A and B are shown apart, each in its own frame.
Chain A
Amino acid sequence: MLTGLVAYWDNLRDGIYRLFIFPEYWHGIRLPALVPYVALAGIFAFTLGILPMLIWIERVVIGLMQDRTGPNRLGPRGLLQPPADVLKLFFKEDIQPGSIDVRLYYLAPFISMLVALSAGAVIPLQTVTFRNVHGGLYTVPVTPGNVNIGLLFMLAASSLGVYGIILAGWSSNNKYSLLGGLRASAQIISYELAMGLSLLCVVLLAGSVQLDHIVNAQNTLPFGIHWLPSFLKGSIFSWYWLQSLIVPVVIYTVAMIAETNRAPFDLPEAESELVAGFHTEYTSMKFATFFAGEYVNMLMICGLNASVFWGGWLPPFNCFPFTFIPGFVWYILKVMMGIFFYTWLRATLPRLRYDALMNLGWKRMLPLALVWLFLLAGYSLVRTATAPHITPTAVVTVAHVAPGR
């Protein structure tokens, strides 16, 4: 009975999926070539569109958690508060303090925003299927740049983001700003190591640093156990948060909060010690750009988290009600779960002391991540191979190709 029902729904699903298979050529236009542009427009529109809403979400969630009302003046449930805030920031007086390094002072917010946005260039939203002229099907990941260094690109973008903060702290010519900038650089360098190591654990299992390969490598039965039912294929139990045995995702989650300077790791802008930290001297839209840059950075880091540890566009179970929902909805849902987690921590945890922060980064998380990397290296030797693309023949071909000119 149950299997019959499942088969019925599977047939229905396949029928609906057939509607979403695009031809390769449409009126002479090669459609797969348009996918990156669609993805770029989608990521930009989503990121910049959700920004004001993120602030609203954060206020409402914190209000609920701390038993307060939250925004409730403008519009239903305070929904018009974000546009009002944006308007207010536009019309605030733009103050330029004296004795600053003018060029770097104006450059800093833009670096912050630009670098954060550029990380979106490699994020895969979902896959789309095309039928070529011979009737064969192939899938293309919906991402602006499907490069083979996707993960490294994200890491590079997140590590370059610190320049905006350092330069803001430096060029403001203010003790508090400088201290904020110094704290930010020290913190980001420290936590980047643990973050990179926890991502390396996943790279070991997936056998690739290309983000869509990493997501596709999660589309297996949990731990490669072949007798499990098919609705668990690519399910929540086969994503890398569990397959890498939980520790890397914990390390990454802590490191990602430290990387984006959010509570409880928001020492660079600790208001009780440093006024407002690195953006003390910034007003109106320059401050707003920093603010937006921070939120974009959060979105991108959560996006990496979602595709590396939480299965990207894969639905939590490979069966009827979940598979009807398109992949990018799942992806955005996972990103927003990350944002909710950020808000949750901000609402509940007090700020760390500076030495506690450094101890956690260097003496707890880094050794743990290193040990786990070695354990997983051993484990990935004995587990069933999920990377069939690295075969002895491939080694031989590259050995012939590589030493040539």
Chain B
Amino acid sequence: MPALILFWILAIVCIGAALTMVTAANPVRSALSLVVCFLALAVYYVTLSAQFIGAVQVVVYAGAVMVLFLFVIMLLNLGAPVTSSTKGSNQNTAAVALGAILLLVLFISGIFFEIPGKAVSPATAQAQGTVKAVGLTLYNPHLPWLFPFEATSLLLLVAVVGAIVMTRRQV
């Protein structure tokens, strides 16, 4: 029962923050709402015994990515509320349609991939979310997770190198 209360409080915070992020006129307020949303998600991960993912969520998204976002917003001085920038375009319609499709895909994936309905025992769940368990699963030679992980990091490296090349060209 306490877990359910926590779930609903977090749900309200998370969805409220997400809605504020979309609707706020001020870009700084938008970014801050996204931070709140990320933090609520991190607490969700912790309640699901995925402590490592929760910590990484805070360190990477709330701590680094969003600080960079805020940095750029402030550097470009986008403080004044930007109105009517999306007026006349059908961006809003497209966003709603894509969001609906994503929701549909999530529901369908719940059917196809058999997301477990009954809870595992707390001890098992606890053991799966620790740093050690995540590391051992990731580097287990019998499981296929290491290659996609490394490939993703390579992709990020390419993006970084690309960004440097692009900035160097203009000088």
Residues of A within 8 A of B (CB): 104, 147-149, 152-153, 155-156, 159-160, 162-163, 166-167, 169-170, 178, 181-182, 185-186, 188-189, 192, 208-210, 390, 394-395, 398-399, 401-405
- The main secondary structure of chain B at its interface with chain A is helix
How close is B10's CB to chain A, nearest CB, in angstroms? 17
Q: Of B32, B55, B67, which one neighbours A185 at CB under 8 angstroms?
A: B67
Q: Of A156, A182, A210, which one neighbours B74 at CB under 8 angstroms?
A: A182
Check B74–A181 contact: CB distance below 8 A: yes
How close is B142's CB to chain A, nearest CB, in angstroms? 6
Check B70–A402 contact: CB distance below 8 A: no
Q: What residues on A are CB-neighbors of B23 within 8 Å?
A: none
Q: What residues on A are CB-neighbors of B55 within 8 Å?
A: 149, 152-153, 156
Report if A402-B67 is in contact (Cβ < 8 Å); known contacts: A155-B59, A159-B59: no
Give the distance in Å from the alpha carbon of A163 to the alpha carbon of B33 in the complex: 13
Tally inter-chain residue pairs, CB-CB below 8 A.
103
How close is A109's CB to chain B, nearest CB, in angstroms? 16
Give the distance in Å from the alpha carbon of A394 to the alpha carbon of B130 in the complex: 13
Q: Quick check: is B24 within 8 A (CB to CB) of the other chain?
A: no
Give the distance in Å from the alpha carbon of A99 to the alpha carbon of B51 in the complex: 42
Contact flags B31-58 to A (C-beta < 8 A → 1, else 0): 0100100000000000000011011101
Report if A402-B136 is in contact (Cβ < 8 Å); known contacts: A159-B64, A166-B67, A178-B74: yes
How close is B160's CB to chain A, nearest CB, in angstroms? 12
- Quick check: which of B11-19, B88-96, B120-128, B151-159 contacts chain A, the rest being far away? B120-128
How close is A142's CB to chain B, nearest CB, in angstroms? 21
Closest chain B residue to A185, Cβ basis: B71
Other contacts beyond A147-B51, A398-B137: 5, CB < 8 A? A192-B64, A395-B136, A395-B140, A398-B132, A402-B137
Q: Quick check: is B163 within 8 A (CB to CB) of the other chain?
A: no
Check A170–B74 contact: CB distance below 8 A: yes
Check A186–B128 contact: CB distance below 8 A: no
Give the distance in Å from the alpha carbon of A403 to the alpha carbon of B52 in the complex: 17
CB-defined A-B contacts under 8 Å, sample of 22: A149-B51, A149-B52, A155-B59, A156-B55, A159-B62, A159-B64, A160-B62, A163-B35, A167-B32, A169-B74, A170-B28, A185-B67, A188-B67, A189-B64, A189-B67, A189-B68, A398-B136, A399-B142, A401-B124, A402-B133, A402-B140, A402-B143
Check A401–B127 contact: CB distance below 8 A: yes
Q: What residues on A are CB-neighbors of B128 within 8 Å?
A: 401-402
Closest chain B residue to A107, Cβ basis: B32
Within 87-140 of B, Cβ neighbours of A (below 8 Å) are at 116, 120, 124, 127-128, 130-133, 136-137, 140
How close is B59's CB to chain A, nearest CB, in angstroms? 5
How close is B51's CB to chain A, nearest CB, in angstroms? 5
Q: What residues on B are CB-neighbors of A402 within 8 Å?
A: 128, 133, 136-137, 140, 143
What are the 3 A-B residue pairs with the smallest beta carbon separation, nearest first?
Answer: A159-B63, A152-B55, A156-B58
Give the distance in Å from the alpha carbon of A319 to the alpha carbon of B167 in the complex: 59
Check A399–B64 contact: CB distance below 8 A: no
Check B63–A156 contact: CB distance below 8 A: yes
Check B75–A182 contact: CB distance below 8 A: yes
Q: What residues on A are CB-neighbors of B70 within 8 Å?
A: 166, 170, 185
Q: What residues on A are CB-neighbors of B143 within 8 Å?
A: 399, 402-403
- The main secondary structure of chain A at its interface with chain B is helix
Interface size on B, residues (CB 8 A): 34
How close is B82's CB to chain A, nearest CB, in angstroms? 16
Question: Which of B62, B71, B124: most chain A CB closer than 10 A?
Answer: B71
Q: What residues on A are CB-neighbors of B52 within 8 Å?
A: 148-149, 152
Check B140–A398 contact: CB distance below 8 A: yes
Give the distance in Å from the alpha carbon of A149 to the alpha carbon of B71 in the complex: 28
Report if A148-B132 is in contact (Cβ < 8 Å); known contacts: A163-B67, A402-B143: yes
Check A156–B35 contact: CB distance below 8 A: no
Q: Of B63, B75, B136, B142, which one neighbours A160 at CB under 8 angstroms?
A: B63
Give the distance in Å from the alpha carbon of A347 to the alpha carbon of B130 in the complex: 43
Q: What residues on B are CB-neighbors of A153 within 8 Å?
A: 55
Give the distance in Å from the alpha carbon of A210 to the alpha carbon of B130 in the complex: 10
Q: Of A156, A395, A401, which one neighbours B59 at CB under 8 angstroms?
A: A156
Give the distance in Å from the alpha carbon of A405 to the alpha carbon of B113 in the complex: 11
Closest chain B residue to A196, Cβ basis: B59
Closest chain A residue to B52, Cβ basis: A149
Give the distance in Å from the alpha carbon of A80 to the alpha carbon of B166 in the complex: 59
Check B75–A148 contact: CB distance below 8 A: no
Q: What residues on A are CB-neighbors of B137 within 8 Å?
A: 398-399, 402
Give the distance in Å from the alpha carbon of A159 to the alpha carbon of B65 in the complex: 11
How close is A191's CB to chain B, nearest CB, in angstroms? 12
Q: What residues on A are CB-neighbors of B28 within 8 Å?
A: 104, 170
How close is B39's CB to chain A, nearest CB, in angstroms? 8
Check A405–B136 contact: CB distance below 8 A: no
How close is A99's CB to chain B, nearest CB, in angstroms? 11
Q: What residues on A are CB-neighbors of B132 within 8 Å?
A: 148, 208, 390, 394, 398
Q: What residues on A are CB-neighbors of B75 within 8 Å?
A: 182
Q: What residues on A are CB-neighbors of B131 within 8 Å?
A: 148-149, 152, 208-210
